[in-house]
C-alpha cells in the first residue's frame, strides 16, 4: 500500500493572500456604503430658508434605513442557507455574487453624475443597498464554507481580511475628502474604488483552484468518505497536519499493510493529541448521529445570547447615532472629523479587539462573568447618545469634546470586536467535534439576528436624542 504524497506547500503564501483578499471583498459593500453616509446625506437632506432660518426640507434617516436594509438580507439568507446553497453550485454562488456586486457598485458610481429628485434617489439607493447586501450575504456564507476546507489558520486570515475592510473604506473616504477635486468627482472616485476591489476579489477566487495547495484540500475534501477505515489508513484525511504515528509524509506504518487494524498500531508512542485525533476517526464514532439543532443550542445558548447582544448594542448606535456627532472645533478639521473619529477609529479598534483574542481569552467559556461583561456594554448606548450629536431634541450634550467621543468610541469598538470573536470561537468548543458545524451555523444566525435587532433599535434611539 502506497502512502499519500507530501502535502504541497503554500508557495509565496498565494492561497493565504487570496483568502485575505476574499475576506476583504465580502465586507466592502457594507463598509463603503456606511462610510459614505455624509455623501448620501448631502444629496438627500437638502435645506431651504424658512422665516430667515435654514431648515431641512425632509429628513430621510438614511443611516437608520441603510443599516436596517444592510442587515435584513444577512438574516434572511442565513435562514435560507439550507435551501439555497445545496441547489446552486459554489462557482455560481461566489462568482455570480461578485459580478452582481460589481454591477451594483457601477450603478452607484454612475448615479453620482446623474441629477435626481431626492425621493427617487433615496428609493434607488435603498434598493441598491438591499440587493448588494443580499449578494454579499450569499458570498460570505459560501466563502466561509470554502475556507473551512483548508487548515484553520486560513480561516483566521480570511477573517483578518474582513476586519480590515472597514479600515480600507475609511482610508478611501479620507483620500477622497483630502483630494483637491470637487465633491462630485471625489465621490465618483470613492465608489470606483470598490469596483476595482470587487474585480480583484473575483480574480482571486478564479485563480484559487489553479493553486496546487488549494487543489490538494479541495480535491481531497470531495473524495473523502467518513467512516471508511481503508480511506483513513490511506491518509486521505490529515491527522495532526498529516503526521500519523510519527510519519510526516502521511504514510501508514508497515504493520497496517499486513492487515493489522488501527488498535494494533503503536498508538502508545503517539502524542496525546494525535492519538485522540486518530481514535476519533474510528468507524464506531463516525456512525454516531449528529445532535439535533435543539440539543446543540442548549449547549451554546449563552454564547448565542452574547453574540446577539454584542451586535444589538453595537448596531443600535453605530453608525446611526455616532455619524451625527459634531466636532467642537469647526473649520478644516470638520471635514475629516467623522471619517477619522467615527469610522476609522471604530474599524481599527474593532480589528484590535479581535486580534487581542489570539493572545488573551478571558473570561473563559464557562465563566459566569462572560455574559455579565457582555451585558455591561449597554452602558455605551447612553454614553454615545450624550455626545455632541446634532440635531437633537430631548437629551442634553454631556460629552462635547472630541477627545471624550474618541475615547468612548475606542472602548466601544475594542470591546465589540473582542467579545464577538470570543463568542464565535467559544461556541464550537462547547460541543462534540461532530456538532461543531451545527454550532457554527447557529452562531452565524444569531450574529445576523443581533445585527438586525440593533438596526431596528437605531430608529427609536436616534429619535430619543
**Structural contact between residues 29 and 134, judged by C-beta atoms closer than 8 angstroms:** no
Provide mean pLDDT across the span 216-245: 45
Q: How far apart are the first and last CA of the chain?
A: 73
Question: What's the Rg (C-alpha) of the chain?
Answer: 25
Residue positions counted in the chain: 465
Q: Which of 47-51, 54-58, 310-314 has the highest mean pLDDT?
A: 310-314
Grid cell, residue 278, equals 486518530
Provide mean pLDDT across the span 166-189: 85
Grid cell, residue 69, equals 436594509
Lowest pLDDT segment from 128-132, 239-243, 267-271, 338-342: 239-243
Query: What is the residue-wise DSSP string for 182-200?
Result: -HHHHHHHHHHHHHHHHHH
Q: Helix count (H) and strand count (E) of the chain? A: 21, 2
pLDDT value at 286 more than 60: no
Provide mean pLDDT across the span 95-121: 92
User: pLDDT tens for residues 427-441?
Assistant: 888 988 788 767 877
Lowest pLDDT segment from 61-65, 274-278, 369-373, 386-390: 274-278
- Residue 110 and residue 90: Cα distance in Å, rounded? 30
**Structural contact between residues 299 and 447, judged by C-beta atoms closer than 8 angstroms:** no
Selection from 330, 310, 324, 313 nearest residue 405 by Cα:
324
pLDDT value at 346 more than 90: yes
Burial of 165 (0-12, 13-18, 19+ CB in 10 A): buried
* 126 preceded by a cis bond (ω within 30 of 0): no
**Structural contact between residues 320 and 140, judged by C-beta atoms closer than 8 angstroms:** no
User: pLDDT tens for residues 397-438?
Assistant: 999 999 999 999 999 999 999 998 888 888 888 988 788 767
pLDDT band per the 50, 70, 90 thresholds, residue 81 = low
Burial of 183 (0-12, 13-18, 19+ CB in 10 A): middle
Provide mean pLDDT across the span 372-392: 95
pTM as predicted: 0.74
User: pLDDT higher for 187 or 287?
Assistant: 187
Among the residues of 330-387, which ranges form H helices? 333-337, 345-356, 369-376, 380-385
Amino acid at each position: 500500500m502506497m502512502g499519500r504524497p507530501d502535502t504541497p506547500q503554500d508557495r509565496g503564501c498565494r492561497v493565504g493572500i487570496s483568502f485575505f483578499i476574499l475576506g476583504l471583498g465580502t465586507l466592502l459593500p457594507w463598509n463603503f456604503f456606511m462610510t459614505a453616509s455624509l455623501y448620501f446625506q448631502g444629496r438627500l437632506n437638502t435645506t431651504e430658508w424658512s422665516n430667515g432660518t435654514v431648515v431641512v426640507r425632509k429628513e430621510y434617516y438614511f443611516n437608520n434605513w441603510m443599516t436596517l436594509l444592510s442587515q435584513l438580507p444577512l438574516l434572511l439568507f442565513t435562514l435560507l442557507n439550507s435551501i439555497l446553497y445545496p441547489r446552486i453550485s459554489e462557482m455560481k454562488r461566489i462568482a455570480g455574487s461578485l459580478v452582481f456586486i460589481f454591477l451594483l457598485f457601477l450603478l452607484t458610481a454612475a448615479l453620482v453624475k446623474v441629477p435626481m429628485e431626492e425621493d427617487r434617489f433615496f428609493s434607488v439607493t435603498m434598493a441598491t443597498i438591499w440587493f448588494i447586501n443580499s449578494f454579499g450575504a450569499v458570498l460570505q456564507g459560501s466563502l466561509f464554507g470554502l475556507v473551512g476546507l483548508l487548515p484553520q489558520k486560513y480561516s483566521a486570515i480570511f477573517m483578518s481580511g474582513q476586519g480590515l475592510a472597514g479600515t480600507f473604506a475609511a482610508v478611501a473616504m479620507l483620500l477622497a475628502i483630502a483630494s483637491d477635486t470637487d465633491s462630485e468627482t471625489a465621490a465618483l472616485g470613492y465608489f470606483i474604488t470598490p469596483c476595482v476591489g470587487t474585480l480583484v476579489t473575483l480574480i482571486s477566487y478564479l485563480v484559487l483552484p489553479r493553486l496546487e495547495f488549494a487543489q490538494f484540500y479541495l480535491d481531497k475534501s470531495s473524495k473523502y468518505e467518513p467512516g471508511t477505515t481503508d480511506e483513513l489508513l490511506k491518509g486521505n484525511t490529515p491527522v495532526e497536519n498529516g503526521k500519523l504515528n510519527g510519519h510526516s509524509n502521511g504514510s501508514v506504518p508497515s504493520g497496517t499493510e499486513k492487515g493489522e487494524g488501527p488498535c494494533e498500531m503503536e498508538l502508545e508512542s503517539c502524542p496525546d493529541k494525535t492519538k485522540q485525533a486518530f481514535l476519533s476517526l474510528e468507524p464506531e464514532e463516525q456512525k454516531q448521529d449528529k445532535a439535533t439543532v435543539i440539543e446543540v443550542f442548549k449547549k451554546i445558548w449563552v454564547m448565542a445570547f452574547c453574540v446577539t447582544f454584542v451586535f444589538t448594542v453595537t448596531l443600535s448606535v453605530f453608525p446611526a447615532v455616532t455619524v451625527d456627532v459634531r466636532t467642537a472645533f469647526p473649520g478644516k478639521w470638520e471635514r475629516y472629523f467623522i471619517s477619522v473619529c467615527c469610522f476609522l477609529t471604530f474599524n481599527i479598534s474593532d480589528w484590535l479587539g479581535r486580534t487581542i483574542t489570539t493572545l488573551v481569552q478571558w473570561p473563559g467559556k464557562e465563566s459566569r462573568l462572560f455574559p455579565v461583561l457582555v451585558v455591561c456594554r449597554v452602558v455605551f448606548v447612553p454614553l454615545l447618545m450624550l455626545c455632541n450629536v446634532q440635531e437633537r431634541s430631548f437629551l442634553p450634550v454631556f460629552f462635547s469634546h472630541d477627545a471624550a467621543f474618541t475615547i468612548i468610541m475606542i472602548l466601544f469598538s475594542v470591546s465589540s470586536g473582542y467579545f464577538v470573536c470570543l463568542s464565535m470561537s467559544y461556541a464550537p468548543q462547547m460541543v462534540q467535534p461532530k456538532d461543531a458545524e451545527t454550532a457554527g451555523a447557529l452562531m452565524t444566525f444569531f450574529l445576523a439576528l443581533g445585527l438586525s435587532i440593533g438596526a431596528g433599535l437605531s430608529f427609536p434611539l436616534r429619535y430619543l436624542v
